[in-house]
Amino acid sequence: HVQLVESGGGSVQVGGSLRLSCAATGVTYRTYFTAWFRQAPGKEREGVASIYRGDRLGGYFADSVKGRFTISQDNAKNTVYLQMNSLKPEDTGIYYCAADASIRSCLSGDGFAYWGQGTQVTVSS
């Protein structure tokens, strides 16, 4: 049974930081393609960042988060992290992690086999 569980969301003020975690059971991140997505109210789901087998340097980052967000992976804990700095109100939304054995589109999110339940991030000014 595969389960992805996000945590770390919350409410912060503009300029603050949060670190989201996505812990997995039933899959091994070391061999998987993992990505973070977000969805704001009334907007479509948006890919935020991805990491493939721990190689974050070659991963995808949405233009809106480049230079502010980083993605990392702890294989011992089988957890992927999204470090979010210099948060802006437009970063508000529900953040989801997704994983698949193959590389998938971070634009559409199509094809990911596994998704977490999401964690709410709210950035207020």
Residue-by-residue pLDDT tens, the chain, 125 positions: 999 999 999 999 999 999 999 999 998 888 899 999 999 989 999 999 999 987 766 688 999 999 999 999 999 999 999 999 999 999 999 999 999 999 898 888 889 999 999 999 999 99
**What residues contact residue 39 under an 8 Å CB cut-off, 6+ apart?**
45, 46, 93, 94, 96
pLDDT score, position 33 = 92
> Could you give the C-alpha distances from 57 to 51, 70, 82, 86, 119, in angstroms and in order?
8, 10, 14, 20, 25
